[in-house]
A and B are shown apart, each in its own frame.
Chain A
Amino acid sequence: MALVRRTAETPPDGDRRNRPRDPPALVAALTDPDPNVRRWAALDLDGETGAIAPLAAALSGESDQAVREALLSTLAGIGGPEVVGALVPHLRSKDATLRNTCVEWLGQIPATADAVPGLIGDDDAAVRALAVTLVAALHDPRVPGWLLDVVADDPDANVCGAAIGELADVGDETACTVIEAAAARFPSDPFIAFAARTSVARLAGSG
């Protein structure tokens, strides 16, 4: 029988990462040509508030998915306004992957809440649309209120429609009049008509 017991061990290559953590060296390793090295550097910078800027900078140029995830999970773990400030500009990126990945991670950082009013009031409808997705992912008691504001006031049909859809999950019966008023602002938009109808039906409690 060839079941062989090996106790949990250090890997055969004599794990170089068993050395004590050395933040400057790790930061330098964020640009190493080997993606495995970059990835471990990002993971090992877990909790290093001094490394926020280089971590965020590394993100812009990073094409390896596993490395990007490591950078973002470390940044999200650190959290706080500085991280949010570093990630929010990526919402305007031409790179759809970077843009959408940042939306996702920002939704996991509580400090993002402070950036929300600015984002839902942004001049660019594309940014406001991403902000709606972001708001819907946040765990904050102000979420329904923010979505209501967007539904009530946003001039862009796609932004408004997206917010109506998200409100169906977190709103209550009082959102119905706001939704109906918004639908009246965009009488020829087929998606808004649909979203308003289904959201009101859900919130009013009927089948």
Chain B
Amino acid sequence: MSRDVLVVDDATTVRMYHSGILRDAGFGVAEAANGYEALEVLLERRFDLVLVDVNMPRMDGFAFVSALRRGGPNRTAPVVMISSEEADAAADQAYAVGANIYLNKPVTADELIGMVRALMGSSEP
């Protein structure tokens, strides 16, 4: 059965990069260009994991994860946040809003797949 990931990033190239890595590893991938669109997609179908950038116009990653954790069918989906910011404060904020993992850019294919598999494994019943 296909495991599906939603990739959320306003920058097309970044979205393509992460989507490509995930597809090559056999995951089903859907994309959203901003947090609102992602929230709507997340109301429509189930995902096994959400990958989201911190810095996005319109709805930043933290606000997105907060909103995701408030309700809906994907409320408890594992979330990987990606950012160029290394500050501990940013990682703390990520975990405070309910992200599972906080990664710094650039993320290598191995790193990303390793994290995603670990998180999906841990969400199995």
Contacts and interface: CB of A to CB of B under 8 A. Distances in A.
A100 B17 contact: no
Which 10 residue pairs are nearest across A and B when measured between Cβ atoms?
A: A165-B13, A104-B57, A191-B106, A158-B84, A96-B60, A100-B60, A194-B17, A195-B13, A190-B108, A96-B62
B63 A129 contact: no
B107 to A, nearest CB: 8
Interface residues of B, number: 27
Given A96-B62, A157-B106, A198-B13, A129 B56 contact: no
Interface in A163-207: 164-166, 168-169, 189-192, 194-195, 198-199
A125 interface: yes
A190 B20 CA distance: 12
Nearest to A159: B84
Interface of B: 10-14, 16-17, 20, 54-63, 84-85, 89, 93, 105-109
Interface string A127-169: 0011001000100000000000000000001110110111011
Contacts of B54: 96
Contact of B63 (A97, A190, A198): A97
A90 to B, nearest CB: 13
Given A161-B106, A191-B105, A97 B17 contact: no
B89 A166 contact: no
B58 A100 contact: yes
Contacts of A198: 13, 16
Contact of A165 (B11, B61, B63, B84): B11
7 contacts: A96-B62, A97-B60, A100-B59, A103-B57, A162-B14, A166-B13, A192-B106
